[in-house]
Structure 1
Amino acid sequence: MADPHAFNEAIVEEFRAKGGQLGGNYEGEPVVLVHSVGRKTGVLRVKPMLYRPHAEDTNVIYVFASGAGRPKNPAWYQNITSAGRITIEVGPETYEAEVRELKGDERDAVFAAHVGDYPRFADFQAKCAGVRLIPVVELTRI
Structure 2
Amino acid sequence: MSNTLPLAMLIELAQNKTDEASRRLGQLQRAQVGAAEKLEMLIRYRQEYCDQLQSQMQDGVSSSRWRNFQHFIGTLDGAIEQQRAVAGQADSRLARGRSDWQQNKRRLSSFDTLAERARQQQVQLLNKREQRGNDEHAARQFQLRMRAAAE
| TM-score, length of structure 1 as denominator length | 0.18
Larger % of strand: which? 1
Larger % of helix: which? 2
**Which structure is richer in relative contact order (CA contacts within 8 A, separation 6 or more)?**
2
Q: Which has the larger radius of gyration?
A: 2
